[in-house]
Chains A and B, each alone.
Chain A
Amino acid sequence: MTIELKPKDYKSDIKPVWCPGCGHFSILSALTKALAYLKIPKHQIGFVSGIGCSSRIPAYVDSYGFHGVHGRGLAVAAGLKAVRPDLHVIVAGGDGDGFSIGGNHFIHACRRNMDMLYIVMDNQVYGMTKGQASPTTAPDWVNKLTPHGSGVRPFEPLAIALASGSSFIARGFSGDPSAMSKILVEALQHPGFSFVQVLSPCKTFRPEQVEWKKQVHNTFIEPTNDSVLAAQRIHSDDGMGLGIVFQCKIPVWSQHSSIQVDTQNSFEAKIETITSEFEL
């Protein structure tokens, strides 16, 4: 008999370090809801992250987890998925982790199109180091490190994901966990690399983000599989449009002959054949 798991069963007993009112709480809830809906066995989940407030999330989910170093979650996940295609691999992190220190891994993870879900919990600020500009912060936002604003145009995550070859691109909002959960269900079922940016207000360092709930809009009703149209949609949007922008079917990464390590078999004979190559 299989016991049906409820969303709360996917939560661990560790209390999050997040501030009261942090948008990340509802991302955790939306994700556990999606996992319960899809009935994914907990021990078949590999939940990977880097460093930052949001990257603490694997410890709060009752599954296998890997809380690695800053910016490298996607790389750990790629290695895990390469050898364990049977696992549901999820990666989560923040805007600094994913777009700044991990920017190169983001681009190449999109290109590689491995079957995994990548959630970026975007609050346009470095929270863990107490409030500095991130790649998605507006150029005129003032803080101690950038007293005149960064003066740098914000990173456009959806446009970069599209240009880099991600096969599923969506944006959610922590203030609408129900819609977000539906996006995550689609993303988890999508065969290939699914990128979901979630706008997640930081009450502590960006209190003005409380206004986001008035600014978001459900623009992307139906995903397109046309990358030109998707680019148009992304570029004509103000960055607050929600929904699945783009989804296409392209070959999912596999190691040509997919890596399937069979630990049961003895490889002695094959090793002997390889060894004999060296004989004169």
Chain B
Amino acid sequence: MSISSFSVAVTGAGGSGAVTTGLILLETMAQQGFYGFMIRSSGPQIRGGESAVMMRFDTNEMLSTNNQFDYLLALDWFNIERFIDEIPLGANSLIIYDLSAGEVPEILSQSKAQFVGFDLKKLAKSIEGGRSNMVGLGLLVNTFSLSNKSINKAVNKILRHKGEKIVTSSIACIKTGMEEQSKNNTWSVHNMTPIFEKDPGDALKTESTRWSITGNEACGLGALKAGVRFVAAYPITPATEILEWLAPRLENLGGGLLQAEDELASINMIIGASFGGVPSLTATSGPGLSLMMEGIGLAIASEIPIVVVNVTRGGPSTGIPTKSEQSDLNISLYGCHGDAPHLVLAPLNISDAVFTTYWASCLAEQLQTVAIVLSDQFIGQSRAIINKPSFHEVNCQRTTLSKETFSNEQEDYQRYEILDNGVSPMSIPGTKGCMYTADGLEHNSKGTPSSMSVDHIAQLEKRQNKLIQFDYGAQWAEISGHGDVVLITWGSSSAMVNEAAQQLQKQAYAIKTVAIRLLMPLPIELLSEALKDAKKVIVIEQNQGRQLFHYLHAQNSLPLNAHAFARSGPLPLRPHEIVKFVQEVL
């Protein structure tokens, strides 16, 4: 059977090298011309303990999960039950396992999947310094007919830092695995070998560049492109990699990262830095976002631009730190006390995290407000092989006063002056003649604290209007397909919704998808336009509380008969769930 796409999972105990195996496979596939991505899943352990990687490869750019896995390489059976929900298997799935790891657990032997066992440990022992995960990798790659050149290049790239000996023994192990697979006649190769609809190597012939990048790195890159030069943050899973990636690169650009004592401090530090004139950002996850709400309100009231990247994990409270969910939409929209208008944006996938973080940072600067970027663990900690991300340049400049632009007498300077576009003139400390005190207290146009209704109303309206009046352009959402059935989604669900829509379109359903990038302020008129001819509207998201669905209803943006497909994490959404739901509704 000819295919364009297939999925592979690797599981194993801590130290079995499941993650390394995944990284080498992903890199080998990339060298061979494939696209793909790899999700990491781990238990709560600090070090060691079981882990799993789940990959999907395709001859085109692909960032959605598949319905089930074609291959599972089980390096052992350690705690396999913890992962098995995340690795759906079917009659066409092949489980490759280590015979020396004991009997196949019941939870797997009951599945319809096919099994093939090898003595990975014994094979590895035949090579000095050999490891069974690399033998397993050899078994796998032989099935996909990958070139030695691609394999060698990938092993070198991933393991070079461990030394020449490890590289050599790993390559030898992979070869052993490949030979073993070739001579094994219990493995009905012709049934299990993917035959592609197009040559995966096409990407190699035509590409200018493909990238290997994680969503967290993509967020960091978007921020740097927008001019962010200061980050203060407190480490938290699954956002820490943004900080680790940014720290040396910020220094290289003349900026820096400050590790704060807590999230209360980190949000206030970036407010102070931005007040000082430097575009600033913090990255966190749910528990940190909860603590930051106080500071977010301060930045909104004092009109200091800042960016908060929230890499969502399972909640509430400590929740599931290592796994994904889209359940922080409500807090991002409504977490502040008082009337606190601000921006909320969400990247649609790993590739889009570059642009969305860039755009959010630019908007914060231009509009002197807070931009919350809602990423999640699925986007943040996955690594993908993608085309160089497309990029829409926007204005990133903060409008600031300087000695040159401000020539009036000091008495005339009004920091919170009400202008037509709602964006007041901001001066930067060190500039003569336009000093002011930024304040979280309500204030008049000069910045003097005021509890008078006239000032409160005027400043509230200004802070709201500057966001509503702004022309955000076509970037507010990605709209694709045509039809009277509209699937609305946001964030990391978008990839799965698009995949589901393609499958439905093949079944002759007329489907349109609207993946919203700018959630607040919601461009209500543009959304209405997109829903104009809709007979059925379905809102799809990965949380239990139907957070987007309720938000759209509250904005009067949904027909009353709209449907919600909302389910909690941490299991990633799968396209077939969406397809089934849509078919049931229609």
Contact = CB atoms under 8 A, between A and B. Distances in A.
B430 A48 contact: no
B232 interface: yes
A113 B481 CA distance: 58
Chain B contact residues, majority secondary structure: mixed
B429 A68 contact: no
Interface in A254-280: 255-263, 265, 267, 270-271, 274-275, 278-280
Contacts of B298: 68-69, 72
Interface stretch (A79-87, A146-154, A235-243): A79-87
A261 B255 contact: yes
Contacts of B99: none
A262 B254 contact: yes
A66 B441 contact: no
A67 interface: yes
Nearest to B439: A67
A64 B436 contact: yes
A235 B440 CA distance: 38
Interface in A50-98: 56, 58-59, 62-69, 71-72, 75-84, 86-87
Contacts of A67: 437-441, 449
Chain A contact residues, majority secondary structure: mixed
Contact of A80 (B209, B211, B276): B276
| Most chain A CB neighbours (cut-off 10 Å) among B256, B280, B302, B385 | B256
Nearest to A253: B258
A14 B221 CA distance: 44
Given A48-B272, A75-B265, A64 B435 contact: yes
Contacts of A270: 252-253
Interface stretch (A39-47, A178-186, A194-202, A221-229): A39-47
Given A42-B435, A69-B295, A76 B430 contact: no
Contacts of A217: none
A257 to B, nearest CB: 6
B222 to A, nearest CB: 11
Contacts of B429: 43-46, 64, 80, 84, 87
Nearest to A86: B430
B437 A59 contact: yes
Contact of B272 (A75, A259, A275): A75
A207 B388 CA distance: 70
A189 interface: no
A108 interface: yes
Contact of A255 (B213, B253, B258, B272): B258
Given A67-B440, A78-B269, A274-B221, A43 B430 contact: yes
B440 A83 contact: no
B346 interface: no
Contact of B269 (A56, A71, A79, A279): A79
Given A80-B276, A108-B261, A261-B254, A279 B211 contact: yes
Contacts of B252: 270, 274
B239 interface: no
A219 interface: no
Contact of A259 (B31, B249, B254): B254
Contacts of B229: 83, 259, 261
A150 B318 CA distance: 33
B275 interface: yes
A255 B256 contact: yes
Contacts of B297: 69
Contacts of A83: 229-230, 255-256, 273, 276-278, 280
Interface residues of B, number: 63
B76 interface: no
B432 A43 contact: yes
A63 B437 CA distance: 8
B230 A271 contact: no
B563 interface: no
A104 interface: yes
A84 B225 CA distance: 21
B431 A43 contact: yes
B72 interface: no
A81 B269 CA distance: 9
Contacts of B495: none
A75 B264 contact: yes
A90 to B, nearest CB: 12
Contact of A76 (B268, B277, B294): B268
Given A67-B438, A67-B441, A78 B272 contact: yes
A65 B295 CA distance: 17
Contacts of A255: 251, 256-258
B539 interface: no
B448 A59 contact: yes
A64 B429 CA distance: 6
Contacts of A46: 275-276, 429
A105 interface: yes
B435 A63 contact: yes
Nearest to B386: A278
B328 to A, nearest CB: 22
Contacts of B278: 83-84, 261
Contact of A82 (B212, B267, B268, B273): B273
A81 B232 CA distance: 13
A47 B429 CA distance: 10
B270 interface: yes
Interface string B364-393: 000000000000000000000100100000
Contact of B30 (A58, A76, A107, A280): A280
A105 B209 CA distance: 46
| Most chain B CB neighbours (cut-off 10 Å) among A47, A58, A78, A278 | A278
A84 B272 CA distance: 10
A34 B157 CA distance: 60
B262 interface: yes
A148 B210 CA distance: 71
Contacts of B212: 278, 280
B203 to A, nearest CB: 10
10 contacts: A43-B435, A47-B437, A69-B440, A72-B295, A76-B268, A79-B273, A80-B275, A104-B261, A259-B254, A279-B210
Given A65-B435, A78-B258, 11 more contacts: A66-B437, A75-B272, A78-B260, A79-B230, A79-B271, A82-B256, A82-B258, A84-B278, A108-B261, A261-B254, A261-B277
Interface of A: 14, 42-48, 56, 58-59, 62-69, 71-72, 75-84, 86-87, 104-105, 107-108, 255-263, 265, 267, 270-271, 274-275, 278-280
Interface of B: 30-31, 209-213, 217, 221, 224-225, 229-230, 232, 249, 251-258, 260-262, 264-278, 280, 294-295, 297-298, 302, 385, 388, 429-433, 435-441, 448-449
Ranked nearest first, the 4 interchain pairs of A and B with the lowest CB-CB distance are A79-B272, A65-B437, A79-B269, A75-B268
